[in-house]
Amino acid sequence: NYAYYGKDRIGSDAVPDSAFADFWQRLAEDYKEDEGVQFGLMNEPYDVTATQWLASVNVAIAAIRQTGATNLVLVPGTIWTGAHSWEEEREGGANGTVMLAVEDPAGNHAYEVHQYLDADFSGKAKTCERSDDAVKALERFTDWLKRNGKRGFLGEFGGSADPACLDGLARMTALVGRETGVWTGWT
Catalytic positions, written as ranges: 44, 156
**End-to-end Cα spacing for the chain:** 18
Of 160, 93, 177, the residue nearest 126 (C-alpha)? 160
* Residue type present at position 7: K
Q: How far is CA 11 from CA 57, 79, 86, 99, 110, in A?
A: 10, 16, 21, 16, 22
State the amino acid at position 38 in one-letter form: Q
Backbone angles phi, psi at 156, to 5 degrees: -145, 135
